[in-house]
Every structure is written in C-alpha cells, then in structure tokens.
C-alpha cells in the first residue's frame, strides 16, 4: 500500500535515524512525527494536524467548540511545532473569520514552517452570492482568507461542501486559476458524495485543470459510512483522506457511558443536532470494546480511537482539536505506537453496522471485497 493509502512507510524509522545527522537542530522535531503523501501529489503532511475551530468562539455553535484567543492559540501552535505537527486546519466560516485571523497571528514570523488548510463555500453573508462555489464567490473568498491569515498563499484550499447550483466546470476552473496564480498550492474537497468527487476528478482530467488531492470527511469508530463508497473511490483515484471529528463529535472522549449524564463540558449539549447521529446503545457497545483495549494497552479511549483511524486505508491525516494545552498533549500520544491486528479486528466488530443498499448486496460478490 502506498503512503497516501494510510499506512506508514515500513522504512520510516530507519530513514529517520539515518537522516538525523543531516538535519539542522531546528528541524529534528519533525522526525518525531510520521509524514504521509497527500494523495496524488508530492506534498507530505504529518499524520496529525491541529484543527482551529476552537479559535475565536464567536456565536453559540463555535463557543461550544472552544474560545482560544491569540495568546492561547500561539502557545498551542508552539506545542504543535515542537511535536512535528506543522499542519493547521481552519475555514472562513469558523467563527465568521476569527479562526483564520487568530491562526494568522499565532503563526506570525514562521509562515514557512507551517502548512495551512482552509475552506470556502458556506455562507459568509446574507446575500444570494455570499455562499457557494461559483467564480463570483470563490475568488473574493480566497482573497479574504489570505488577508485574515496574513499570508500570500494557501497550501490546501478546500471546497467545504458541494454546490449543486454551480457547474462543476466553473468551480474547478476557478480553483485552477487560483493555483496558477500562486495563491493556492493544492485543492481539496470536503463532505462530497461519491459522484460529486468522481465527476469533479473527471472534469479536471478532461481539461488538464488542478485536481482534488484530498477529501476531508467525517470518519470515526462510531461513524464508518465513509468506508462504503468514498474509501474505495479514494483508493482507486489516489485521493487522500483527511479526517474531521475523529472522536465522533465528542462522543469518544471516555466520559460518555451507560447510565451517566453528559459531562458538564461537552459540545453535545448545544451542537448534537448539527453533528452526526449516533444511537446510544451502539455508542455504548463501541465504548465497551474501547474500555477493554484501554485496560490492555494503558492508553486512553481517545488515543485508541485515533490510532485506529491512522491504520485505515487512504487516511493521510487526522485533524485534532483541543480546548487547551493538556487536552492537546493527551491527543498527541495517539501516535508512536500501533494497535495490534487482533485489537483492530475487535474494534471493527464492535462498530460494524448493517450496510444500506447496494453495499450489502455488493459485499456478497467476492469480486467486491471490503476496502479494509
């Protein structure tokens, strides 16, 4: 399996040791973090990235995620870079631009050391053209993100969702123009259906325009729908996976269990309806399996859930958010070790669900094997 397919290179540790003496001291921390190729591109990204949806806290929805100011954000960026995590994910819509602004200030003076991923498509105003993936919206949206981030280029620019009212050709051509101008280096999509992504890739191939190299998706031990259609597509088309909400919208923190109320600090109190639905009994079944493996490994439930994701095909990067330094340091401990094949199989079994049509039917045919 190639690196973009979600498995670490078997030579990673050996090569890291061999190259240590050739790196300046300021870069040695990068050897602590595994890097994977981002789809059909030459870009390498760390397996963990920092999600900055917790920066700003504007509005009830984002306040539930967190409200880091510039000082705290700068400290979190420091910790990330010390650990080799140089990839930061944001979006224009996060706290209505405040997340981008704070990230831009937190990385001031070290832009060349980091990779920035941001997104456009969702509404940034009340007008009929203040949203979507049209040329009219995307060009000023990109310019606004550049200003807020205080940079002249974006490393990875996502379409935050699929715009069914804009011709795909218009969207891809606009993105290609941004790449050709140097304002964007690579393009990606997020929350697409299989046909949305496949048709977009076909348009890129037909006209020789920039191609989506990654797909940012919801994927977790309590949300495996991604495996049915999008993972096989990613394998076939060399589109890497970047995972958002890897802990199931805050459900796999280890604090949610049978017979216990929600913890006092949880985004689920105010954002459960906007997040992925998870039946309680199914969640408890998965948490039971995680508990068993936690006792065996000495790792926390979040660390095990994140490690499971990092061993799935196509996964190049998992986005992790944190309200504070302690939470981020705990999440960092999800790397540097691997679950055993037997432990992964137990988690797979605990989180298995009945597939919808046509996937249950396809699984009966031996020439349509599971992607995992």
Please list the active-site residues. Answer: 94
35-37 vs 44-46, strand pairing mode: antiparallel
In DSSP terms, 187 is beta-bridged to 157, 212
Phi first, then psi: give them for residue 318, nearest 5 degrees: -120, 125
Torsion of CA 79, 81, 85, 91, to 10 degrees: 90
Omega prior to 358 cis, within 30 of 0:
yes
Closest CA to 242 of 42, 80, 87, 62: 87
- Count of alpha carbons within 13 angstroms of residue 180, beta-carbon side: 10
In DSSP terms, 318 is beta-bridged to 48, 243
Helix ranges, the chain (H):
12-19, 59-63, 70-82, 98-106, 135-149, 168-180, 194-207, 230-237, 268-271, 280-297, 301-310, 325-332, 341-350, 359-362
End-to-end Cα spacing for the chain: 12
What CA–CA distance (Å, rounded) separates 289 from 268?
22
Residue 128, C-beta contacts closer than 8 angstroms, at least 6 positions apart? none
CA angle 132, 138, 139 (to 5 degrees): 160
Residue 89, C-beta contacts closer than 8 angstroms, at least 6 positions apart? 49, 50, 51, 52, 117, 118, 216, 242, 244, 319
What CA–CA distance (Å, rounded) separates 109 from 91?
21
Number of H helices, E strands in the chain: 14, 10
Looking at residue 21, what DSSP letter applies?
G
Judge whether 263 and 250 are in contact, CB under 8 Å. Answer: no
């Amino acid at each position: 399996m190639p690196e973009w397919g979600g498995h670490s290179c078997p030579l990673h540790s050996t090569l890291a040791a061999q190259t240590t003496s050739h790196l300046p001291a300021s870069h040695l921390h990068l050897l602590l973090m595994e890097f994977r190729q981002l789809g059909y591109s030459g870009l390498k990204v760390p397996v963990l990235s920092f999600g900055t949806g917790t920066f700003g806290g504007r509005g009830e929805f984002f306040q539930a995620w967190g409200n880091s100011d510039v000082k705290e954000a700068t400290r979190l960026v420091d910790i990330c870079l010390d650990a080799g995590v140089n990839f930061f994910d944001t979006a224009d819509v996060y706290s209505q631009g405040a997340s981008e602004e704070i990230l831009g200030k937190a990385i001031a003076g070290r832009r060349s050391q980091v990779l920035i991923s941001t997104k456009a498509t969702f509404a940034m105003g009340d007008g009929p053209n203040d949203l979507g993936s049209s040329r009219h919206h995307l060009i000023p949206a990109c310019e606004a993100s550049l200003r807020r981030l205080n940079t002249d280029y974006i490393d990875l620019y996502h379409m935050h969702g699929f715009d069914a009212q804009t011709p795909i050709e218009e969207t891809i051509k606009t993105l290609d123009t941004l790449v050709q101008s140097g304002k964007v280096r690579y393009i990606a999509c997020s929350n697409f259906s299989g046909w949305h992504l496949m048709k977009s890739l076909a348009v890129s191939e037909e006209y020789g325009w920039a191609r989506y190299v990654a797909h940012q998706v919801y994927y977790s031990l309590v949300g495996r729908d991604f495996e049915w259609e999008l993972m096989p597509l990613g394998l076939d088309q060399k589109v890497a996976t970047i995972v958002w909400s890897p802990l199931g919208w805050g459900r796999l923190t280890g604090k949610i269990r049978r017979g216990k109320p929600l913890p006092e600090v949880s985004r689920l109190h105010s954002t459960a309806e906007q997040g992925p639905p998870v039946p309680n009994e199914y969640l408890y079944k998965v948490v039971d399996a995680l508990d068993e493996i936690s006792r065996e490994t000495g790792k926390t439930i979040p660390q095990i859930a994140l490690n499971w994701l990092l061993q799935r095909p196509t996964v190049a990067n998992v986005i992790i958010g944190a309200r504070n330094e302690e939470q981020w340091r705990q999440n960092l401990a999800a790397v540097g070790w691997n679950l055993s094949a037997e432990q992964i199989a137990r988690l797979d079994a605990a989180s298995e669900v009945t597939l919808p049509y046509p996937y249950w039917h396809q699984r009966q045919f031996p020439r349509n094997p599971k992607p995992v």
